[in-house]
Structure 1
Amino acid sequence: MTIASILGSKGRDVFTITLPQTLLEVCSTLREHRIGAILIVDDKGKLAGILSERDIVRRIAEHGPDALQADTSECMTSNVVTCSLQDTIQTAMARMSEGRFRHIPVVENDELVGMVSIGDLVKRRIADAEREAEDLKNYLYAS
């Protein structure tokens, strides 16, 4: 299974912001859309960074509540690990496990085309395993 198959079922909607924005403003956006990470794009729509709830919590733990007034650019990850539509679910999961992050943007021909979370990937892996088990059970009982 590929990342394209996941985006085909969940959709390609991605929430993005442009800078400047404070962490407090980003927190409001995350809450409003019920998401755990947001992508930062430049004025041409190119991926410039990613910011997750974990990044914000880490910043608050280091600097206290005043951290929420900081500019997002001070806290975001700008060297973003991405995947493509053709990547397998296993490949994306390996990148996420290695980097210890839970969201990965999907980029095709330098264009942002979606984002998947570890939850999306695990959900698909479980569905695939259940389908395979059912197929095997049907095959054994049909013999």
Structure 2
Amino acid sequence: MTVAAILSQKGRQVITMVPKQTLAEVCETLATHRIGAVVLIDGDGRIAGIVSERDIVRALAAEGATALQRPAATYMSAKVVTCTERDTTDQVLQRMTSGRFRHMPVVREDRLIGVISIGDVVARRIELAEREAADMRAYIATA
């Protein structure tokens, strides 16, 4: 299964913010949209970084509530690992696992076109395994 298949099922809506927005604004956005990370884009619409719930927890642990008033750029992961629609779920899962992150922006020609999470990937893999098991049971029943 490819990233394109996941995006076709889940949709391509992406919540983005800009690096100068505060960490408090990021928290509000994450809570409002019930998401675990937000992609930060620069003035040219390119990915500048990503801020996840883990980044926020680390910021609060290091600086306390004052971190919430600082720009999200202070705490974002600037080296963002991305994927394309052609990547397979196995490739994406391997990158997420080895990099220890749960959200991956999907790009086409350096432009953001979606975001997938490890939950999206695992859900599709479980769905595929269940479908294969059902097909196998049906095959055995007709034999």
TM range (shorter): over 0.9
Give yes or no for the alignment of 1:48 onto 2:48: yes
Q: In structure 1, the residue corresponding to 2:116 is in which secondary structure?
A: strand
CA-atom RMSD, angstroms? 0.7
* Structure 2, unaligned runs of 5 or more: none
Partner of 2:132: 132
- Aligned identity (percent) is 52
Q: What is the identity, as a one-letter code, of the residue corresponding to 2:91?
A: T
Q: Note the 1:2-41 alignment, pairs <5 A.
A: 2-41=2-41
**SS at 1:48's partner residue?**
strand
Out of 32-41 and 62-71, give the one that drifted further: 62-71
How far the C-alpha of 1:111 sits from its partner, in A, is: 1.2
User: Which letter does structure 2 place at the counterpart of 1:115?
Assistant: V
Moved more, 38-47 or 61-70: 61-70
**Structure 1 runs not aligned, ≥5 long:** none
Q: What is the Cα deviation at residue 25 of structure 1?
A: 1.2
Deviation at 1:10, TM superposition (A): 0.4
Contact 2:19 2:48 in 1 (8 A): no
- Relative to the length of structure 1, the TM-score reads 0.97
* Amino acid in the other structure paired with 1:12: R
TM-score between the two structures when normalised by the length of structure 2: 0.97
1:19 Cα deviation from its structure 2 partner: 2.8
Counterpart residue identity of residue 51, structure 1: V
Question: Aligned residue for 2:141?
Answer: 141
